[in-house]
Amino acid sequence: MLLRSERAGDAGDAGGAGDAGGAGPAGREQRVRRFTAAERWIHRTSAVLGGLCLVTAGCLYLPPLAELVGRRHLVVTVHEWSGLLLPAPVLLGLVSRAFRADLRRLNRFGPHDRTWLRSALRRDHRPTARPAGKFNAGQKLYASWSAGAALVMLGTGLLMWFTGLAPLPWRTGATFVHDWLAIALAVAVGGHIMKALADPEARRGMRTGSVAADWARREHPLWRLPPATPAATPAEPQRPGRR
């Protein structure tokens, strides 16, 4: 990971949160673009493949689930192929300039990230105590750890799948690492989901691609916001006889 300040990488995030206005015409909420359609599809397909890996792993290793689901050969096949395809959305997403820019942001840690982590450990929830660019330090750590864990799971899974690739001691070690890392991944993904459930605006940003400008300024004060647009409002119903 590059220990460089995210401020430069985010093209002047610091002090840029005020670039997008607050309320728009007639007091309508202002929204800013956070994720492109390509980034949202990368997230969704990765979530589906990762979810399949975890669910099928549970069906393979937990006897009650194994008895409930049955069809062990089918479960094994789904588990193997979903794991093999897991890196595909990210690799295909590299053609997106916005996705590559966000990967660079996720790979940069600056002094403000250390401040964010200290505040998180102290359970200091004041927005001023947790400075963040487009991504906060917790999101960066989760992204880095998940990417590394996925690669280790892929490598150990291949050793378990193709038994001729390595001698028995290697395969035994790979099985040990694969099993315990799967448990750690399940815990991390569960925490990620709980954090998302606690922040409706963050979920809306991943679902629609845009977030409220006020939320962005409060939660990511060092993020240089793109131009804001008024939130869409339903069309006014016509009165009878009105054209």
pLDDT digits (tens, 9 = 90+) for 155-175: 999 999 998 888 899 999 999
So what's the pLDDT on residue 231?
A: 65
Spelled out in words, what is the top-level CATH class assigned to the domain 30-230?
A: mainly alpha
Asked if residue 240 has pLDDT above 60, the reply is: no
Calculated CA dihedral for residues 130, 135, 141, 143, nearest 10 degrees:
160
So what's the pLDDT on residue 164?
A: 85
Asked if residue 137 has pLDDT above 90, the reply is: yes
Report the range of poorest mean pLDDT among 44-48, 139-143, 153-157, 231-235.
231-235
Q: Which residues contact 13 (CB under 8 A, 6 or more apart)?
A: 6, 7, 133, 134, 222, 223, 224
Asked if residue 9 has pLDDT above 70, the reply is: no
pLDDT digits (tens, 9 = 90+) for 204-228: 999 999 999 999 999 999 998 887 7
Burial 128-164 (b: 16+ CB within 10 A, else e): eebbbbbbbbbbbbbbeebeeebeebeebbebbeeee
Q: In what order do the strands lie in the sheet with 210-212?
A: 210-212, 30-33, 229-230
Mean pLDDT of 37-62: 94
Q: What percent of the chain has pLDDT over 70?
A: 83
Mean pLDDT of 36-51: 96
* C-alpha span between 125 and 34 (Å, rounded): 23
Supply the mean pLDDT for the chain.
85
3-state secondary structure 146-207: HHHHHHHHHHHHHHHHCHHHCCHHHHHHHHHHHHHHHHHHHHHHHHHHHHHHCCHHHHHHHH
Residue 230 φ then ψ, to 5°: -65, 145
pTM: 0.80
Asked if residue 139 has pLDDT above 70, the reply is: yes
